[in-house]
Structure 1
């Protein structure tokens, strides 16, 4: 039995190299990173993390320490499903989602990392091992970029090895969105995979009107056209707009994904492993999507997500997010001709440079 002896939580504010922007979060210069390390009686340690945009990092960190650490220390680290249920019900009355599932996610990821390290196996193999090569797209957070900046970013993405790109929509005037998407389509050429993301900006009627105009640009999907609470509206967008819909980064439980699928409101379920409940729940969402013959994609934290998608037969594109930890990672995943390969290092294979991060601790 690998008994848990310590759960450590650290909070950092990480600067972004470029100011990023979307239709609901505004301008973003940094993000909050919550890192959890779980140590067992043999001295082995697993690491997990989650993040917040603009606010909430302290609340997530407090959910882990003391509320989750108090119920984890002394438990068997290998019984991850049992520990997940224990964490879920311990914090159930405090939220059933939001900062609660973000906190559980970081711990769950750390527990899986610890298990993989103890086994000497990468997590994508521990999870069953479908295909280590995962298609990836560049997730631009670029709503306020000028058109020349937008096109220059697209060129840079391609130079980095990306063969699919997502851009933001949701400006005040729909004609501005149409003009920008048209410019991107012309620049990238016919057949280049292009997605757009409205970040919940529109009403259902506005989204339907936008989708019908955007159909001309051969998009892979329209992402988050409406707020996640409006599943009937999102179902109308999917049924009447003429574009596939991706959604899920703001759904924080398995049950919310079930409701979205049951409502006919999503084509590409899009969980974020750092806020949906961790790798335990991400894999369940992937299986739920598979049972409904739907492809699963992802949001954010691609360095962790790659293991889940490399084990999922219904996986499609993985997002490489703008909130990257590359400057603080010992090793990064190279992008080769539009794909990344899940690492063979034990666990999730990430090692953070905590000395470099120390200056960012809050």
Structure 2
């Protein structure tokens, strides 16, 4: 650490318990291209365009004691540049803070942008920093994050989503299923929500037959049914012994989801689009699903995710985090009830490390922290970056 950095931090008071200070923060905007455009029900209804790339906001935090942490947030379709801009606005708030004071830092960053709200883009822009701080804390302890949090298991049931999009013809979906099972996947999810439910029924029937009667099988309507369609088609789907029906209704229709949860035998799963603890709390306290599906980058990081986990467990919910398995593996391993983890291989080019999938489960790596580092390819896909303080 250079002299100017020492002088910059000299005025900051230190309590006896303070152990370190954040000296540098780097924020990067990186675009991950997808091999082929992806479409789900939101595209078929005309509400969104096919997905061709994902914007990632990476945060790299360094401290005066030489510790480093990395975290990320993401946006599909729109929003990446806005998240990057807000992350740059609040990044200077981290300089000089003790990186161990994660909850207090989260509140500080949240209030820095509170005039724009405490959900949505403002909380999603906090996530890369919060996740990086948890990564750093676990690395300092020499532990995988799951072990730092207190793991209930060393592996998590894992299902695949990326092979079952509506943009893929049925024969391709069946081929993807075979490839996933050979790789060691423990469950299969496909997209539904076609304008004609008869097409959905044909695909679900074929996939269930291909999987056999007992293999875990989920479907995802991506919020595109109205209440009547969800109720009627939900009854039709009872015959397939599904693990869950995901996002049958608009993400904010708590009342509708609660009615479906009460009336159908098939479990309901939702929550991936919610962007705060408060929004998840409404869903949980209304008993509006059986599976809760929070997304740490979307809710503002690991700090609010842990709050959601506590409330969900208290209320008896099952957990199935959305996307970002590189982060959610550790969080799911620390959930008291047996969870599910969503498998996407899309992010693999971004990192130097790979996660182990075996016998239907994803295994927690023994590497400290989250256990990943940015690849040269991720650096090459970076379009903008900004640094604050020193050493980032």
Normalising by structure 2, we get a TM-score of 0.89
- Determine the C-alpha separation between the residues in 2 that align with 1:245 and 1:14: 31
Q: In the comparison of the two structures, how many residue pairs are matched?
A: 359
Shift of 1:90: 1.8
Instruction: Describe the superposition over 1:280-303 as per-residue Cα deviations: whole angstroms up to 9, x where unpaired.
Output: 111221111110111111101001
Listed as ranges, the matches of 1:1-362 within 5 Å are 1-24=19-42, 25-66=48-89, 68-140=90-162, 141-321=164-344, 324-353=346-375, 355-362=376-383
CA contact (8 A) 1:31 1:54 kept: yes
Shift of 1:26: 4.1
Which segments of 5 or more consecutive residues in structure 1 lack a partner in the other structure? Answer: none
- Determine the C-alpha separation between the residues in 1 that align with 2:180 and 2:38: 15
- Determine the C-alpha separation between the residues in 1 that align with 2:263 and 2:195: 22
CA contact (8 A) 1:286 1:314 kept: no
Shift of 1:101: 1.6
CA contact (8 A) 1:207 1:241 kept: no
CA contact (8 A) 1:209 1:241 kept: no
Shift of 1:33: 1.2
CA contact (8 A) 2:37 2:51 kept: yes
- Which secondary structure does the structure 1 equivalent of 2:113 belong to? helix
- Which secondary structure does the structure 1 equivalent of 2:250 belong to? coil
- Determine the C-alpha separation between the residues in 2 that align with 1:28 and 1:232: 30
- Determine the C-alpha separation between the residues in 2 that align with 1:265 and 1:191: 26
CA contact (8 A) 2:351 2:378 kept: no
State which drifts further: 259-268 or 139-148: 139-148
State which drifts further: 92-101 or 2-11: 92-101
- Determine the C-alpha separation between the residues in 1 that align with 2:146 and 2:171: 39
- Determine the C-alpha separation between the residues in 1 that align with 2:207 and 2:138: 41
Distance change >3 Å, CA 342–CA 319, structure 1 → 2: same
Distance change >3 Å, CA 26–CA 210, structure 1 → 2: farther
- Determine the C-alpha separation between the residues in 1 that align with 2:338 and 2:82: 32
- Determine the C-alpha separation between the residues in 2 that align with 1:121 and 1:163: 27
CA contact (8 A) 1:297 1:315 kept: no
Instruction: Describe the superposition over 1:312-336 as per-residue Cα deviations: whole angstroms up to 9, x where unpaired.
Output: 11141111135x2212321111210
Which segments of 5 or more consecutive residues in structure 2 lack a partner in the other structure? Answer: 1-18, 43-47, 384-392
- Determine the C-alpha separation between the residues in 1 that align with 2:91 and 2:131: 14
Instruction: Describe the superposition over 1:57-106 as per-residue Cα deviations: whole angstroms up to 9, x where unpaired.
Output: 0111111112x212111111110011111112222221221111211111
Higher relative contact order (CA 8 A, sep 6+): 2
CA contact (8 A) 1:234 1:265 kept: yes
Instruction: Describe the superposition over 1:177-228 as per-residue Cα deviations: whole angstroms up to 9, x where unpaired.
Output: 0110000000001011000000000111111111111111110000011111
CA contact (8 A) 2:349 2:378 kept: no
- Determine the C-alpha separation between the residues in 2 that align with 1:26 and 1:236: 31
Instruction: Describe the superposition over 1:319-359 as per-residue Cα deviations: whole angstroms up to 9, x where unpaired.
Output: 1135x221232111121011011111111111111x32233
**Higher gyration radius (CA):** 2
